[in-house]
Homo-oligomer: A and B are copies of this chain.
Amino acid sequence: MAGTVFFSVSMSLDGFIAPESPQELMGQQWMELQRWVFGQRFFRENLSLGVGGEEGRDNEIVRETFERTGASVMGKRMFDAGEHAWPEAAPFHTPVFVVTHEKRDPWERPGGTTFHFVDDGIGPALARAREAAGDRDVRIAGGGATILQHMNAGLVDEFTIALSPVLFGSGIRLFEGVDAGRVALEQVRSEPSAKVTHLTYAVRER
């Protein structure tokens, strides 16, 4: 009984999910893109940013996304950016499968996150994540290139975008290089909050 394979990201209205270089990650627009999530109680506690925070629908959505996730798949670039940025108790609390060319032993963190390094491609990484997730869902955590690889390979069942009221103008586009002739979408849910709009789509083959 494999669960759903999904991703969940914050996207600017002009389609960007990250600045061009990781060094700009803390720039003004990036902060605006992510502003809605940084104030949420669940997010703050999970990333050890401090206690307290908002507890409305946005907070529930962050919690639901976390709770449905039984395992994650992640690209090496995202792992590299996070390795030194995440708190010691990394915020996943499940197995995480890192797609990489590098061989490396599993890296176990306090709090239940174990990073497994998979060097034979996205298919095997996803298979292992599905097995580890059991009845829960598999999240393609990112970055953009890894998400797109899964989309174009027909491996994503649905996704959620927190559409932020910000324009980047440049950076990494979520759908750059998407196989538009193959991927069809169905609008599943569209839920406005005060700061963003949470959009959920199912992915279909054309």
**Copies of this protein chain in the complex:** 2
**Chain B residues with Cβ under 8 A from A168's Cβ?**
180
Task: Pick the residue among B165, B178, B191 that contacts A167 (CB under 8 A).
Answer: B178
B192 and A196 form a contact (CB under 8 A): no
| A 144-194 contacts with B by CB, 8 A | 161, 163, 165-170, 173-175, 177-181, 183-187, 189-192, 194
| A interface residues (Cβ-Cβ under 8 A, vs B) | 13-15, 29, 161, 163, 165-170, 173-175, 177-181, 183-187, 189-192, 194-197, 199, 201
B14 and A165 form a contact (CB under 8 A): no
Kindly name the residue among A168, A173, A180 whose own CB sees the greatest number of chain B CB atoms within 10 A: A180
A199 and B201 form a contact (CB under 8 A): no
Interface of A, helix, strand, loop or mixed by DSSP? loop
* New contact pairs (19) apart from A168-B180, A169-B178, CB-CB < 8 Å: A13-B199, A13-B201, A14-B15, A14-B173, A14-B174, A14-B180, A15-B15, A29-B180, A163-B199, A165-B185, A165-B187, A167-B175, A169-B177, A169-B179, A170-B180, A187-B196, A187-B197, A197-B197, A197-B199
A185 and B197 form a contact (CB under 8 A): no
User: With A13-B201, A173-B14 as given contacts, are A180 and B196 in contact (CB-CB < 8 Å)?
Assistant: no
